[in-house]
Chain A
């Protein structure tokens, strides 16, 4: 039995929708355009990932489930993005922390999810967590698969987010 790696926690998101930008002739412009559209409509992105290899950029982001219909409408109404965006309706984020820049944790996560036949639709790391995107209905199975290789502190279960950040329309004096 392989020794499990001790981590501090696993955090799970609410149900989200994933927007992937595909095969756009000017991929960097398309990402910038998408971000501007979401910002203008005060739609939060709990996840954003962009990969650049040579001149090819692939980008994806996640939005709250309740924003999915609005995002679809906005993308359909945007000639420059229409046909270049794919929406995966129901995904969830699974964040393992801290990663401590330990590539073994990354490898074990991919090995565990792959071995359990669970999809990995995106991945990114930040200061503390390594975040993976999988299907929302697979989050519990993903946790079970990861716990074969990663050890949480005693009596600790994954944290489920119950706080949702909404952009408010309140502006400070002097701001437009």
Chain B
């Protein structure tokens, strides 16, 4: 039972945000939307989502930075972060080391292009 938990979808592609939001709403979730890392932080502070679906490559502040900041912040570190990554097939762990030196511990990841049914399984596994 999802009990209208709030999911924040963050991607700079409005079509992807819309498609994922529609799927989440059809499953009974409430959805907040953001289109870059800065907006994501605004929504996190305003609405305190249960879970973030977070794109990696975005303007202003990328998904790795946002994830890293969330997980280091005692107030927000319990928010589940699912990264959307184009390199998912090559990754076997949710800990990434990036060229900018940031190590990110996301809770889960899903490769792009997204399998929406698989994404819903992941979301429900953390919110059920």
- Contact residues of A with B, CB < 8 Å? 8-9, 11, 95, 97-98, 126-129, 155-156, 159-163
Contacts and interface: CB of A to CB of B under 8 A. Distances in A.
Contact of B17 (A128, A155, A160, A162): A128
22 contacts: A8-B14, A9-B14, A9-B35, A11-B12, A11-B35, A97-B14, A98-B14, A98-B18, A127-B18, A127-B19, A128-B15, A129-B14, A129-B15, A155-B42, A159-B36, A159-B59, A159-B60, A160-B59, A161-B12, A163-B12, A163-B57, A163-B59
A3 B58 CA distance: 31
A156 B18 contact: no
A155 B59 CA distance: 16
| Binding site secondary structure of chain A | loop
Interface in B49-76: 57-60
Given A8-B14, A161-B12, A163-B58, 19 more contacts: A11-B12, A11-B35, A97-B14, A97-B18, A98-B18, A127-B15, A127-B18, A127-B19, A128-B14, A128-B15, A129-B14, A155-B42, A156-B39, A159-B12, A159-B59, A159-B60, A161-B59, A162-B59, A163-B59
A8 B35 contact: yes
Nearest to B18: A128
B33 interface: yes
A163 B64 CA distance: 14
Contacts of B18: 97-98, 127-128
A128 B42 CA distance: 22
Interface residues of B, number: 15
A127 B11 CA distance: 14
Interface of B: 12, 14-15, 17-19, 33, 35-36, 39, 42, 57-60
A68 B39 CA distance: 34
Contacts of A161: 12, 59
Contacts of A98: 14, 18
A9 B12 CA distance: 10
Given A128-B17, A159-B12, A8 B59 contact: no
In the A-B complex, list the 3 residue pairs whose CB atoms are closest, starting with the nearest. Answer: A128-B18, A97-B14, A128-B14
A84 B58 CA distance: 37
Nearest to A129: B14
B36 to A, nearest CB: 6
A160 to B, nearest CB: 6
A175 to B, nearest CB: 13
B34 to A, nearest CB: 9
Contacts of B36: 159
Given A127-B19, A156-B39, A159-B35, A11 B14 contact: yes
A12 to B, nearest CB: 10
